[in-house]
Structure 1
C-alpha cells in the first residue's frame, strides 16, 4: 500500500474516531443548556450559523467540517463540567416492561423530553397546527405539531424552564399496606374545607411569543454591541478604523442576526429557489426585467431656471430601506399564474401588467419615470400601491391589467423582527451620539438588501425578488409621504430615489423633524448645501 493510500486510510479512521466521540443530539442540547449558553454563543465560537447549531441539536444534520472539531472540543469540555446524571436515577423512573412490551415511565415520573421530535411543515411553509396540547419537550401548551402529530413548539423553540415549571406535578403519598390503622379521632367540629389550589396560569400565545421575542432581541442586541466593542478594542480606540472593520464584516454579521431573529418564526423559507428568467440578469452589467418604480419627478410648473421666489426645502426620509423591510415577501418557491390569478392579498411576487395612464401633474407617477411605454414587470409592492390608488379611497388611477404573475405564499412580518432589532440599535446609537454603531447598523441593513440578489458577496441567500420588492416598498413609502404633503396643501416640487422629497410650504406642519424612522430632516451634502432653495413658476 502506498504512502498516499495510508494517509487516506488514516484520515478516514480519524473521521470515524471523531464521529464516535460525538455526543448524541439530545446530549448536545443538554450540555449547552446546562452551561447556560445560547445557540448564538455556540455558533459564534464554532464559526457556524445559529440554525446549524439547532440542526445539530435536533439531529436533523450531523456536525460537519470546518466547525465539527471545534464543536466536539466544546462538548467534551462541557461534559467534564456538567457530567450526565447517574444512569440509575434515570432507570428508577422507568417501569419494567411487561412481557413483550416496552419500558414505560413509572407512575408519577415525568416523561423524558423527546428531543428528536421535528416540527411538521405545510407545503406553503407554515407550521402545522391543531388543538393546543402540552409540548413534548417543555410541557407548555402549543397548537403546533410534530411530524408524528404530537404537540411541539414551531421550530422546536420551547419555553424556558421557568415557564414550564409553573405547571404543578401531582404528588402521591403512598401508604404501606402494613401500616397500623390509626385510632378513631375524638369527635370535633368539622373543619372548614381547605381551599382548592389555584391552577397554574399557562402564558397565553401572545405572552409566550413576547417572551421568546424578548430573549431573541436581548441576544441580538448583545451581538451588535459585542461586535462594536470587539472592533474598537482591536483598533485601540480608533473610531474610523473600527467602523471600516465593522462595515467589512456587515454581511456575515447581519446574516447571523437574520438567523437569530427567526428563532421564533413559525414557517420555513426557501433561500435558493429556482427563479424564472425574468429574475435572472442576462449578464453582469445588464439588469433583469423587473421595474422597481424608481421616481425622478420634477413638477412641470416649477423650474430652477425660471425667476421666482417660491421657497423649497429638500427633505430626507430617514433609513428608508430599513423602514421598507416591513413589506409583503414571498417565502416559498415562485409559481406561475396566468391573468390575475396570482393577485392575492396573502401572496407576493412579481407581475406583468399594463398600467393605466397617470393624469395628475401635481403628484409623482407611482410607477416612476419610465422610458418605454407598454407592459412591464413590477413587484408586489408596486402593484399593491397601484391597486390602493385605483380603489374608492383614492380614485386617482384606473386599475392595471395583470397579464401573468410569479408568486408564492407571503407574509408581511418576515423581516419585521430583524427590522425592529436594527431600528432599536439605531435609535440607541442616535440617543448616545454613537456614530460607530449607527454606521455599522446602516451597513448591515443596506448590504443585507443589496446582496440578497445575484451577488458573490452573500452565498447564504439568493432572492432577487425580495431585493426588488424591498426597493419598491421604499419608493412606495416615499410616494405616500408625497401624497400626505399634497393633501396638506404643500406643493411637491421633486421626488427622487427612495428618500428625497422637495416641498414648497410649511413642511413642519405635516412631518416631525428629526432623525427617527418616522421623521424627516432637511437634506444636506448635495449641491444645495443648505437644503433650501427657490424656484420660479413656469408660464404655459
Structure 2
C-alpha cells in the first residue's frame, strides 16, 4: 500500500474516531456558547453557512462532509476547554427511582428563576460575562441576566418546570413507599401547588414567563452588524485566493469566479439570518415556469428591449451626436423587486393582481402608440396574449395610469401569484453593493469582478440550472430579469422627459441618447450613476454620429 493510500486510511480512521465521540445537539450548543463563539464564527471556521450550524445544534440535520471533520475537531477542542458540568440533581433523580427520599433535587429546582430577564447591550447583543450554570436550565452559558447571573440569551432554553417542582412534595409526604414512585410523579404535585395562588398571587404567577419568547435570538443582532459580518466573508475569500495564488491576481480572480456560486449562496444564507420571511428553495411550480426543453424557449416573456429609433440610422448621412451609456450593475440593482414568498396560487381574471402579490400573469397588451419611445414589452413581434412577470405588469399599469397616460391598461386573463415583499433580497443586495463600492473606491479590480460574478451567477443559476442545486426559483429569475429591463426603461423615459432623443435601448444596461446627458444623469460607476459605454466590436459605441432617415 502506498504512502498516499495510508494517509487516506488514517484520515478516514481519524474522522471515524471523532465521529464516534460526536456530542449530541444540546452539547454542541453548550460547547459553542461556553466558548462565547457566535454561529457566524463557527460557520466561517468550518466552511458552512450559519443556518447549517443552527441545524446541527438543534438536531434538524447531522454534520456532513465537507465541513464535518473541521466541526468535529472544533467540538473536541472545546470539550477539553469546557468540560461538561457535573450531572444535574434532577437527572440523577430520574436515573435512580429509589432516590425519591433524597432531597438535593428540591433545592436545585427551587433555585431556578423563571422570571430572570436577559441583559442587552445598546447595540442589540446580549451581555456576556464569566460562564456559569443558567438560572433557568442549569446549562453553562456566558450570557448574563439583568442582575448579573448566568442566563441564556433571550432565555432561549426550555425550563423543565415539572421536573424540579415534582420531587419536593414526594420527598416529604412519601419518604419510602414504592407506590409513590410507581404513581406518575408529575400530576401529584400539581394539586399540591394549586392552593398557593390564592395565598400568594405573586409567587403563583412567577412561572408564567416560562414559554419560549416568539422572537428568535438571531433577531437581537443589529442589521448593521449583520451586514458587516457578512461583508467580511467577501474580503476573507479574496485574501484566501490571493495567498493560495501567491499574489497572482489573474489566478486568484479565476479561482474566485469558479467559487462564485457556492460563495454567493452562502452569503444569501447569511443574510437570511435576520430575515422575517421563510421561503421554499424547491417549491411546486406551475408548468408555465418550467422550460419545455433545452431547445425551446421559456414561456415567460421577460420584456428584454432591443429598440432602435426608426428615424435615425448610422448609415444615413448626418452629424447628430449620440452617446452610448451604460447602466452600472443593472442586475444588482434589480435584486430589489417584488418576489413571491409563498406557494403560487392560480387566479382567473384580474383577481391575482395586487400590490402586495407577485408572480406571473397571462395578459393581452394594448397597442404601443409611441414609435419614438421603447415599447415597455420589449422587442416582441408576435401579437396576442403572453405570459409576463409581475415586474413588467407593474410597469404597464403605471404607464396606463393618470400620471403617464401613455397606453391603455392590459387585459389580465389569469395569474399565478403569492404574497410578496420587495425586500426579500435587499440584504444581499446591500452587502454586495457595499463590497462593490469599497472595491471601486480602493481600485480593487479583483473584488469588483468577484462581486459581479457572484450576483450575475446567483441570478442566472437560480432557475433550473445544473450549476446550482441549492435553489430552483425560475419565477425569481424571470422577475429579476424583467425588473432590470423595467429599470432601464425608466432611465430612458427620464432622458426623454429632459429633452434627449432615445436612439437605442438594448439588453440590460445599454441606452443611446442625443444631447447633453450629463444634465440628466450623474456620471460615475455608482449604482445610481451612468457611464459611457465603450466596445471594441460595436460600431455604435462611446460617442458617434447618426443621420436622419428620409422616408
Pick the TM interval, shorter chain. 0.7 to 0.9
Name the structure 2 match of 1:172: none
Structure 1 residues without counterparts, runs of 5 or longer: 1-13, 116-133, 140-147, 160-210
Query: What are the residue-to-residue correspondences of 1:283-298 with 2, within 5 Å?
Result: 283-298=293-308
287-296 or 67-76, larger mean C-alpha shift = 67-76
Name the structure 2 match of 1:435: 445
2:542 equivalent to 1:534: no
Query: What are the residue-to-residue correspondences of 1:142-161 with 2, within 5 Å?
Result: 150-154=212-216, 156-159=217-220
Counterpart contact for 2:245–2:251, Cα < 8 Å = yes
* TM-score, length of structure 1 as denominator length: 0.77
Could you tell me how far apart the structure 2 residues matched to 1:422 and 1:90 are? Answer: 50
Residue 395 of structure 2: SS of its match in structure 1?
helix
Residue 352 of structure 1 is aligned with which of 349, 362, 376?
362
Query: What are the residue-to-residue correspondences of 1:306-385 with 2, within 5 Å?
Result: 306-385=316-395
Could you tell me how far apart the structure 1 residues matched to 2:70 and 2:237 are? Answer: 21
Could you tell me how far apart the structure 1 residues matched to 2:84 and 2:237 are? Answer: 34
Could you tell me how far apart the structure 1 residues matched to 2:476 and 2:357 are? Answer: 13
Could you tell me how far apart the structure 2 residues matched to 1:470 and 1:433 are? Answer: 28
Alpha carbons of 1:529 and 1:234: their partners in 2 closer, same or farther (altered >3 Å)? Answer: farther
Name the structure 2 match of 1:167: none
Q: In the TM superposition, what is the alpha-carbon distance from 1:435 to its structure 2 partner?
A: 0.4
Residue 112 of structure 1 is aligned with which of 136, 140, 144?
136
Could you tell me how far apart the structure 2 residues matched to 1:348 and 1:114 are? Answer: 48
Residue 268 of structure 2 is aligned with which of 255, 258, 275?
258
* TM-score, length of structure 2 as denominator length: 0.75
Name the structure 1 match of 2:493: 483
Could you tell me how far apart the structure 2 residues matched to 1:221 and 1:472 are? Answer: 27
Name the structure 2 match of 1:231: 241
Residue 284 of structure 2: SS of its match in structure 1?
coil
Name the structure 2 match of 1:55: 55
Could you tell me how far apart the structure 2 residues matched to 1:107 and 1:218 are? Answer: 36
Counterpart contact for 1:282–1:288, Cα < 8 Å = yes
Counterpart contact for 1:113–1:137, Cα < 8 Å = no
Q: In the TM superposition, what is the alpha-carbon distance from 1:150 to its structure 2 partner?
A: 4.2
Alpha carbons of 1:281 and 1:104: their partners in 2 closer, same or farther (altered >3 Å)? Answer: farther
258-267 or 16-25, larger mean C-alpha shift = 16-25
Root-mean-square deviation (CA, aligned residues, Å) is 2.9
Alpha carbons of 1:114 and 1:492: their partners in 2 closer, same or farther (altered >3 Å)? Answer: farther
Name the structure 1 match of 2:156: 137
Query: What are the residue-to-residue correspondences of 1:64-463 with 2, within 5 Å?
Result: 64-65=64-65, 67-85=67-85, 103=109, 105-106=111-112, 110=116, 111-112=135-136, 135-137=154-156, 150-154=212-216, 156-159=217-220, 211-463=221-473
Counterpart contact for 1:323–1:517, Cα < 8 Å = yes
Q: In the TM superposition, what is the alpha-carbon distance from 1:68 to its structure 2 partner?
A: 3.8
Residue 152 of structure 1: SS of its match in structure 2?
coil
Residue 446 of structure 1: SS of its match in structure 2?
helix
User: Which string of whole-angstrom CA distances, capped at 9 and with x for unpartnered residues, describes residues 138-181 of structure 1?
Assistant: 99xxxxxxxx9742324x4153xxxxxxxxxxxxxxxxxxxxxx
Counterpart contact for 1:390–1:399, Cα < 8 Å = yes
Residue 498 of structure 1: SS of its match in structure 2?
coil
Counterpart contact for 2:324–2:540, Cα < 8 Å = no
Residue 503 of structure 1 is aligned with which of 513, 526, 530?
513
Counterpart contact for 2:339–2:420, Cα < 8 Å = yes
Name the structure 2 match of 1:131: none
Counterpart contact for 2:358–2:418, Cα < 8 Å = yes
User: Which string of whole-angstrom CA distances, capped at 9 and with x for unpartnered residues, describes residues 373-402 of structure 1?
Assistant: 100000010011111111111111111111
Q: In the TM superposition, what is the alpha-carbon distance from 1:29 to its structure 2 partner?
A: 2.2
Residue 80 of structure 2: SS of its match in structure 1?
helix
Could you tell me how far apart the structure 1 residues matched to 2:333 and 2:351 are? Answer: 29
Residue 409 of structure 2: SS of its match in structure 1?
coil
Name the structure 2 match of 1:24: 24
Alpha carbons of 1:357 and 1:151: their partners in 2 closer, same or farther (altered >3 Å)? Answer: same
Matched residue count: 445
2:484 equivalent to 1:474: yes
Could you tell me how far apart the structure 1 residues matched to 2:495 and 2:113 are? Answer: 70
Counterpart contact for 1:515–1:521, Cα < 8 Å = yes
Residue 473 of structure 1: SS of its match in structure 2?
helix
Counterpart contact for 2:90–2:105, Cα < 8 Å = no
Could you tell me how far apart the structure 2 residues matched to 1:377 and 1:343 are? Answer: 14
258-267 or 472-481, larger mean C-alpha shift = 258-267
Could you tell me how far apart the structure 2 residues matched to 1:300 and 1:491 are? Answer: 12
Structure 2 residues without counterparts, runs of 5 or longer: 1-13, 92-102, 117-134, 140-152, 159-209
Counterpart contact for 1:137–1:158, Cα < 8 Å = no
Could you tell me how far apart the structure 1 residues matched to 2:218 and 2:89 are? Answer: 27
Q: In the TM superposition, what is the alpha-carbon distance from 1:530 to its structure 2 partner?
A: 5.7
Counterpart contact for 2:365–2:409, Cα < 8 Å = yes
Q: In the TM superposition, what is the alpha-carbon distance from 1:47 to its structure 2 partner?
A: 4.2
Counterpart contact for 1:113–1:136, Cα < 8 Å = no
Could you tell me how far apart the structure 1 residues matched to 2:111 and 2:397 are? Answer: 60
Alpha carbons of 1:65 and 1:475: their partners in 2 closer, same or farther (altered >3 Å)? Answer: same
Counterpart contact for 2:389–2:479, Cα < 8 Å = yes
Counterpart contact for 2:112–2:137, Cα < 8 Å = no
Could you tell me how far apart the structure 1 residues matched to 2:17 and 2:256 are? Answer: 39
Alpha carbons of 1:254 and 1:302: their partners in 2 closer, same or farther (altered >3 Å)? Answer: same
Could you tell me how far apart the structure 2 residues matched to 1:67 and 1:113 are? Answer: 30
Counterpart contact for 2:136–2:157, Cα < 8 Å = no
Counterpart contact for 1:292–1:382, Cα < 8 Å = yes
